[in-house]
Amino acid sequence: MSTVALHQKYRPQTIAELVGQPYIKTALTNTVKYLQIAPAYLFTGSRGTGKTSTARIFAKSLNCLNTKKPTDQPCGICQSCRSIETSNSLDVSEIDAASNNGVDDARALIERSTLAPVAGRYRIFILDECHCLTGNAFNALLKCIEEPPPHVVFILCTTELHKVLPTIVSRCQVFNFRTLSVQAIVQHLGIVADAESISIDDEALTAIARLSDGGLRDALQLLGQVSLLNEDITANHVMEIAGGVTETELMSILQAISTNNTFNLLQVARVLVDSGKTPKLILSNLLQTYRDLLILKSASKEQSLLTGCVSYTQLKTLANHWNFETLNLSLAELQKAENNLRYTVNAAVWLEVCLLNLMPSLLPVSATKTLAVKPLNDKGRDGKLLPTVATNTPNLAQIWLSVMDTAKPSNKNLLAHASLVKLQGDKAILEVTSAYLKKFESNKEVIAKMLQRATQSQQPMTVLIKTANKSSNGRVKA
């Protein structure tokens, strides 16, 4: 007994069933309802967003034989509707422009457009991947698309709008099919999974939605693929069958990095490469994870912004162990490694080098001189993981130098006329030369934020300015 793929079985049959395209749904419904049929339409957007399916639905709406006029609710059972669904209609021609892209094909299409419809109201031409047409073919169709016979409607579909001649675009009503949101895909996949009795958890559905890059067809293909496992599907199953890096594998890497465990880190990297995971794929997943960590450091409750496969719970635990500078430097290392992978013949070695450079002990001193990363297995009295103060606590002069290092070049000269003489809790005292007293007073808030970043303080800093004694060269005495 033959089976139908999920993306074909659950293809929308009416305009109202379109997923994730509310404005297109409304516009086409009103087009049919008020009989404002344009001579040509251009559907553009990423793959799997519903362009060809919408073109077929629109054709059925215009030619449904169970109503006296076009309808936004085609019956799906009349001869016209059934023949359109099976691509056997005499009035609706679905043409693959990739293989019929010459000027002779365009001329043949123009000749066919002069024929009256056989059974329906309109003769409809659906040109799929119309950007493949040659320039001469587009120019041959130009006049026919602009002023076709009254019974002809052109529907052009493309994933690459920039390749379609502007003169063609200007003669069509353009509908931009946007990529679907993760939430919209997850919701639709949940409906399909329930209908097909597929046991899958929410995290796995989210993983499928993120892997599909906004394309519902890709998401349904992957759902049908993982359903063949015949077990309760988790996010790890999805990542494994899609050839990605699982959450468990990423957590092993991050734990080895955070604890400066060189042996475990190289061992995990080698196991991943030997299991068929490419270095580029591993770095790409790490890049997403570090990006998610950076988001959680600034907006800990914004779960909707996360794109990686590591869960929010795990990320929230990890985010407490790195500061902004460490995460930024790690992202820079990952980006540099991605560039190196393009030109190297030994990608596995570059992967290991990059992973080693992510360890806190090998990052530049400026990123770790204020806070050290606490190992994942170290806990406070309440059992929670906490960052600890580094063993070599910087003195006041070092803190002030770190402030100057992060300042703009134009402000470094000004900051050189001050020194940090006291730092207690969230209060800091600066000594400045009298000539620059007013400038420092007017910029106290900016200096306070710079000090807060340099000391990794969780509370806003308060800065007090006082005049210092001058030496003979006009500088503040140390």
Per-residue model confidence as pLDDT tens digits over 222-263: 999 999 988 899 988 998 888 888 888 888 898 888 888 888
Which of 23, 21, 43 has its CA nearest to residue 160? 43
145 with 39: CB under 8 angstroms? yes
pLDDT, tens digit, 9 for 90 and up, residues 188-210: 999 999 999 999 999 899 889 98
Q: How does residue 382 score in pLDDT terms, banded at 50, 70 and 90?
A: very low
Residue 427 has pLDDT above 80, yes or no: yes
Q: Is the dihedral of CA 227, 216, 181, 24 positive or negative?
A: negative
Averaged over 164-176, what is the pLDDT? 94
pLDDT surpassing 50 at residue 477: no
Q: May I ask the CATH class of domain 182-241?
A: mainly alpha
pLDDT recorded at residue 52: 93
Superfamily covering domain 396-467:
DnaA, N-terminal domain (3.30.300.180)
pLDDT at residue number 375: 41
Higher pLDDT: 157 or 323? It is 157
The residues of the chain that CATH labels 3.30.300.180 are: 396-467
Judge whether residue 380 has pLDDT over 50. no
The mean per-residue pLDDT over the stretch 432-457 comes to 81
Per-residue pLDDT tens for 268-284?
A: 999 988 888 888 888 88
* pLDDT > 90: percent of the chain: 36
Segment among 18-22, 99-103, 204-208, 470-474 with least mean pLDDT: 470-474
Query: Which has the higher per-residue pLDDT, 392 or 357?
Result: 357
The pLDDT of residue 364 = 57
Measured distance CA(79)–CA(90) in Å, rounded? 11
| pLDDT above 60 (res 425) | yes
Q: Which residues pair with 188 in a beta bridge?
A: none
Q: What is the mean pLDDT of residues 327-347?
A: 82
- The SS3 call for residue 94 is strand
- CB burial class (10 A; 0-12, 13-18, 19+) of residue 343? exposed
Q: SS3 breakdown of the chain: % helix, strand, coil, rounded to 5?
A: 50, 10, 35
Report the side by side order of strands in the sheet with 418-424.
418-424, 427-432, 462-467
| Residue intervals in the chain for CATH 1.10.8.60 | 182-241
Least confident of 116-120, 142-146, 216-220, 360-364: 360-364
CA angle (58, 25, 170) in 5-degree steps? 70
Among the residue ranges 87-101, 378-392, 438-452, the one predicted with the least confidence is: 378-392
> What is the C-alpha to C-alpha distance for residues 133 and 142, in angstroms, rounded to an integer?
12
Between 281 and 157, name the one with better pLDDT: 157
Give 18-62 pLDDT, tens digit per residue. Answer: 999 999 999 999 999 999 999 999 999 999 999 999 999 999 999
C-beta of residue 325 within 8 angstroms of C-beta of residue 369:
no
Tell me which of 24-38, 163-177, 323-337 is least confident: 323-337
Angle between helices 262-274 and 279-298 (to 10 degrees): 130
In 3D space, the residue among 424, 470, 434, 430 whose CA is nearest the CA of residue 447 turns out to be 430
CATH top class, domain 6-177:
alpha beta
pLDDT at position 453: 79
The residues, any chain, with a CB within 8 Å of residue 402's CB and separated by 6 or more, are 366, 369, 370, 394, 454
Q: How far apart are CA 199 and CA 231, in angstroms?
A: 7
The greatest distance separating any two alpha carbons of the chain, rounded to the nearest whole angstrom, comes to 102
pLDDT at 388: 33
* pLDDT(105) > 80: yes
Per-residue pLDDT for 377 more than 60? Answer: no
94 φ/ψ angles, rounded to the nearest 5 degrees:
-100, 110
Start and end residues for every CATH 1.20.272.10 domain found in the chain: 247-388
Q: How confident is the model at residue 362 (pLDDT cuts 50, 70, 90)?
A: low
Q: Which of 135-149, 159-173, 175-189, 342-356 has the lowest mean pLDDT?
A: 342-356
Measure the CA dihedral 241/247/252/255, to 10°.
Answer: 160
Instruction: Answer yes or no: are the C-beta atoms of 341 and 294 closer than 8 Å.
Output: no
Is the pLDDT at 124 greater than 50, yes or no?
yes
Q: What top-level class would CATH report for the domain 247-388?
A: mainly alpha
Q: What is the mean pLDDT of the chain?
A: 83
| Global pTM exceeds 0.75 | no
As to burial, measured by CB atoms within 10 angstroms (0-12 exposed, 13-18 middle, 19+ buried), residue 279 is buried
Give ranges for CATH 3.40.50.300 in the chain.
Answer: 6-177
Report the alpha-carbon distance of residue 71 to residue 68 in Å, rounded: 9
Q: What pLDDT does residue 436 have? A: 81
Considering 165-174, 290-299, 353-362, the range whose residues carry the highest mean pLDDT is 165-174
Average pLDDT, integer, range 449-454: 81
